[in-house]
Amino acid sequence: MEKHCYLVNGQAWLIAGDFNVTRELVDSMAGSSKITRGMVEFNDCINRIEVQDINRNGLHYTWNQRPRGASGALKKLDRTHGDYAEKVFKCREELCRIQNCLDNDPHNEDLRFEEGIYLQSFLKASWEEECYLKQRAKIQWLKEGDANTAYFHKVVKGKINRNRIETIADGNGNWKEGEDAFKVIVEYISEFLGVEHTVDPIVNTENLFSRKLDNQQAVEMVKEVTNEEIKAALFDIDDDKAPGPDGYSSKFFKKAWRIVGDDFCCAVKEFFLSKKILKEINATVIALVPKIQTPGKVADYRPISCCNVIYKCISKIIVNHCKGLIDKVKNRVNDWKNKSLSYAGRLQLISAVLASLPVYWASVMLLPKGIVKEIGKLMRNFLWSNGQKSKGISKVSWNDICKPKKYGGLGLKNLQDWNIALLSSRIWKISSGHDSLWVKWVKFYHLEGRSFWDVRAKDKMSWSWRNLLKIRPFLRDSFFYRIGNGENTFMWFDNWHKLGPLCYVLSPREISNAGYNIKDKVSEVIVNDNWNWPADWLNMIPQLNESPVLKLVRGKKDEVHWLNFNGKIVPFDVSQVSSSLLSNETIVEWYELVWFQNRIPSHCFILWLAILGRLRTQDRMKKWKDTSEFCCVFCNNQIDSHSHLFFECKYPNEVWNLIKIKVNMSHRPGNWIEIIKEFQSSLKRKSIENFIKKMALAASVYHIWNERNKRLFGKQRNSVDVTVKIIMDDIRLKIFSLNMGYLGLNEEICKKWNVPVNKIDHLHEFCN
């Protein structure tokens, strides 16, 4: 067969016949349970010549040792192998040929019909080739000695090398190899999982929760699960998701649904009825995924759990029951989608209404990622396309839009960060010792004398409590404990030392070996206002020598403070938490140039897009469209761009020059980037003159862009004088709406802009 492969020389070929050997154990109804040498050699040969079995229908066993008897061995010896690559090549050639003919005779019905047939054949062949290549790339093929192509060998070899842990550092910084490395990982995971504790039953829950769902919402979340709902959740799981400990993927259950469907549904329903799940089903495989390029210690890996399919299906059903929140958002969007709103108007509605809908839910539970993603998608589509059913082309990524305006965004709330910020108020109540029934219950039943930052999440804990523990890494370093009597601050886990929580540098084993208890408070460790650190600790962590000398004040309670991203103590509130989650962002220099007080929102929105370079100018559209017919509507000399429209082209330049004269601007550079730099440096001082100049820039950009679109799509044209008049009228009306004295607004400026002084405080009367 390998000799024939060279003779074929890359052409399509088909191999069929009796090969006198099986490929797999399932190809023989009876016989040995071991893979024979002949089977290995046969598979190696097939892999080297890069062919595969053709899909077939009918009986699996094609050979019978005794056709007339009842005891003959049944085997699959007859096979048909084919080469998909050549099939795709031939189909593509025929499709191109028929499409070329169709270009010359586009009204020929026979050619159109023939093109459809060839297109269908090409798509089918491409899909078969893709499936083949996916199978060839599977790692388990290579483990069995598959002679694959060089490309797939390199890819899989790279994955294996990345996933292999050769050496790792323990808690003391000592490097371990081989079996010792695995022991370090096991010890770390054992400490991470913690130990079991028994809790007493809750006696009175009447006043435990102040906020409750209404009856309709409660019934919706606990409604009976149907077989159709279970099947839909299963079939929504990707086929390629990693299987759990049982080894069965979602694709197995989909393919075998006719056989296992009823049992699968019964298992899922049993969970929702009994609220219990078998340990065998709840078992997971913990896989370590590197968080950095070169991980050195166990903490550099992120443990993820590979769950069984039934567990994943149950999770999807729970998420679907929470989707009533999404329906609320959709209903609001549907009410507005037929209204003609500008970008700024849609932004205001999203900020004031849509973003406030999930606040209650986000304050009582950690929203599932699927819900957060779906709500973000609805808001994004509404902003860019004014409707939830149509997908608009996003000019700016949603993550950037959700940044505060001073960081270059639009100030919308990132729902995931906002969810964490809202839940942080509960952690604040626990840490600060808030006098409430819920805090007392948490300390008694969940903490049991331990620090909140030390409690390990366990499966038997409630879902809401485990979610509260899950957000601790985002907030821990911002909780600062100021020592009073030292009786309420945990020595090893609370953030009172300048090194941060001491558990970052000392492991529980080191603490125990030194004779301390992990539940120790600061007052129990300090002796006569001095520290008595073990000598080996001081050698290992010299910074302990610099520990602050604390004088405990009897009767003065320890205080909890919130540290912002600059490390300064500020009053705790949700907005401060949200800001701390954006600590790595940089303030943009043009922030005050765009988002100044008393601005015209629609003007500043377009100015924001222009500064970011995200308007759909022709130079940007050429990346995904043919621009051979594109040309600037003002000069007809070249395709337009941001720098060309603002203000290099003749028409925009004339408008801009007239505006500069009318608002008494000095000479400004002509290049768009230089204009922005010059404005943001020279207009920092708050005055009515600078306010008018900012208004002039925003209005000029807005109306030039508007004029460009009118000419491009509506065939309407305004002269330079008309456009200048429109811009000046906008500025004049805005000045009319201001109160006398705003930024130094006086009678002289009002007269210059033809604004009646005696009506400056009566805008509503003027508008009526």
Question: CA distances (Å), 243 to each of 144, 237, 252, 476, in order?
Answer: 20, 11, 10, 34
Please state which of the ranges 58-72, 609-623, 732-746 shows the lowest mean pLDDT: 58-72
C-alpha closest to that of 696 among 661, 745, 740: 661
Classify 562 in phi/psi space as left (phi over 0), alpha (psi -120 to 50) or beta.
Answer: beta
Token pair for residue 681?
């440096």
Q: Position 40: which residue type?
A: V
C-alpha closest to that of 61 among 35, 24, 15: 24
Contact, 522 vs 496, CB < 8 A? yes
Whole-number pLDDT of residue 290: 76
Phi and psi torsions of 392, nearest 5°:
-80, 155
Q: What is the mean pLDDT of residues 202-218?
A: 62
Q: Position 358: which residue type?
A: P
Whole-number pLDDT of residue 56: 57
| pLDDT tens by residue, 274-309 | 777 777 777 777 777 777 767 777 777 777 777 888
> Cα separation of 121 and 87, whole Å?
10
> Cα separation of 573 and 561, whole Å?
11
> Cα separation of 110 and 540, whole Å?
84
Whole-number pLDDT of residue 764: 41
CA angle 109, 111, 113 (to 5 degrees): 70
Please state which of the ranges 284-293, 432-441, 490-499, 618-627 shows the lowest mean pLDDT: 284-293
Whole-number pLDDT of residue 189: 72
497: exposed, middle or buried (Cβ count in 10 Å: 0-12, 13-18, 19+): buried
Whole-number pLDDT of residue 26: 61
> Cα separation of 9 and 664, whole Å?
79
76 vs 564, higher pLDDT:
564
Please state which of the ranges 42-56, 222-236, 519-533 shows the lowest mean pLDDT: 42-56
470 vs 760, higher pLDDT:
470
Q: What is the mean pLDDT of residues 526-534?
A: 80
Whole-number pLDDT of residue 645: 92
> Cα separation of 710 and 704, whole Å?
10
Please state which of the ranges 176-190, 322-336, 393-407, 640-654 shows the lowest mean pLDDT: 322-336
Q: Read off the pLDDT band of 695 (50, 70, 90).
A: very high
| pLDDT tens by residue, 312-343 | 888 888 777 766 666 666 666 565 554 557 77
Contact, 322 vs 351, CB < 8 A? no
505 vs 11, higher pLDDT:
505
Please state which of the ranges 413-417, 642-646, 739-743 shows the lowest mean pLDDT: 739-743
Contact, 98 vs 57, CB < 8 A? no
According to DSSP, the residues that pair with 305 across neighbouring strands are 286
Under 8 Å CB-to-CB from 140, ≥6 apart: which residues?
A: none
Residue 5 has pLDDT above 70, yes or no: no
Residue 583 has pLDDT above 80, yes or no: no
Whole-number pLDDT of residue 644: 93
> Cα separation of 267 and 317, whole Å?
13
> Which of 138-152, 345-359, 445-459, 592-606 is modeled with the greatest confidence?
592-606
> Cα separation of 129 and 84, whole Å?
6
534: exposed, middle or buried (Cβ count in 10 Å: 0-12, 13-18, 19+): middle
According to DSSP, the residues that pair with 14 across neighbouring strands are 82
Residue 248 has pLDDT above 60, yes or no: yes
Whole-number pLDDT of residue 143: 39
Classify 399 in phi/psi space as left (phi over 0), alpha (psi -120 to 50) or beta.
Answer: alpha
Q: Position 385: which residue type?
A: S
Whole-number pLDDT of residue 390: 59
DSSP state of 539: H
Phi and psi torsions of 82, nearest 5°:
-135, 165
| pLDDT tens by residue, 635-659 | 998 899 999 999 899 999 999 999 9
Q: What is the mean pLDDT of residues 412-429?
A: 89
Whole-number pLDDT of residue 642: 92
Residue 30 has pLDDT above 60, yes or no: no
Whole-number pLDDT of residue 655: 93
Q: Tell the residue number behind the tokens 């019909």, with chain if given.
A: 113
| pLDDT tens by residue, 447-499 | 888 899 988 888 778 888 888 999 998 898 899 999 998 888 999 999 988 88
Token pair for residue 456?
């390990």
Token pair for residue 291?
């968080």
Q: Read off the pLDDT band of 147 (50, 70, 90).
A: very low
H helices of 322-414, in order, are 324-336, 343-352, 359-364, 369-385, 398-401
Whole-number pLDDT of residue 148: 46
Contact, 454 vs 493, CB < 8 A? yes
Contact, 40 vs 25, CB < 8 A? no
As a whole number, the mean pLDDT across the chain is: 78
Contact, 255 vs 334, CB < 8 A? no
Rounded to 10°, the helix 688-709/672-682 angle is 160
Contact, 14 vs 81, CB < 8 A? yes
Question: Is the C-alpha dihedral spanning 191, 192, 193, 194 positive or negative?
Answer: positive
Question: CA distances (Å), 260 to each of 228, 253, 266, 267, 682, in order?
Answer: 14, 7, 10, 11, 73
Q: Read off the pLDDT band of 719 (50, 70, 90).
A: very high
H helices of 671-737, in order, are 672-682, 688-709, 720-737
Q: Position 363: which residue type?
A: S
Q: Is the peptide bond before 253 cis (omega within 30 degrees of 0)?
A: no
> Which of 276-290, 350-364, 689-703 is modeled with the greatest confidence?
689-703
Residue 177 has pLDDT above 80, yes or no: yes
Q: Read off the pLDDT band of 199 (50, 70, 90).
A: low
Rounded to 10°, the helix 601-612/688-709 angle is 80
> Cα separation of 295 and 185, whole Å?
13
561 vs 190, higher pLDDT:
561
Q: What is the mean pLDDT of residues 580-584?
A: 76
**What are the DSSP calls for 491-560, one per residue?**
TTTSS-STTS-GGGTS-HHHHHHTT--TT-BHHHH-BTTB----HHHHHH-GGGGGPPPP---TTPPPEE
DSSP state of 711: I
According to DSSP, the residues that pair with 78 across neighbouring strands are 18
242: exposed, middle or buried (Cβ count in 10 Å: 0-12, 13-18, 19+): exposed
What is the value of pTM for the model shown?
Answer: 0.56
H helices of 215-308, in order, are 215-221, 227-235, 250-255, 257-274, 279-282
Q: Tell the residue number behind the tokens 């062919």, with chain if given.
A: 51
Whole-number pLDDT of residue 70: 47
Phi and psi torsions of 18, nearest 5°:
-95, 110
Helix (H, G, I), strand (E, B) or coil at 451: coil
Token pair for residue 572?
């705790």
Percent of the chain with pLDDT over 90: 14
Q: Tell the residue number behind the tokens 């298992």, with chain if given.
A: 267
Question: CA distances (Å), 584 to each of 147, 184, 466, in order?
Answer: 48, 33, 27
Please state which of the ranges 179-183, 229-233, 642-646, 656-660 shows the lowest mean pLDDT: 179-183
| pLDDT tens by residue, 95-130 | 888 888 877 787 787 887 888 888 888 887 777 766
Question: CA distances (Å), 668 to each of 563, 589, 665, 671, 693, in order?
Answer: 43, 18, 8, 9, 12
H helices of 386-435, in order, are 398-401, 415-431
Residue 81 has pLDDT above 60, yes or no: no
Tell me how long the chain is. 768
Q: Read off the pLDDT band of 198 (50, 70, 90).
A: low
Whole-number pLDDT of residue 6: 59
Token pair for residue 131?
């499936």
Whole-number pLDDT of residue 154: 60
Whole-number pLDDT of residue 153: 59
Whole-number pLDDT of residue 763: 42
Phi and psi torsions of 468, nearest 5°:
-65, -40
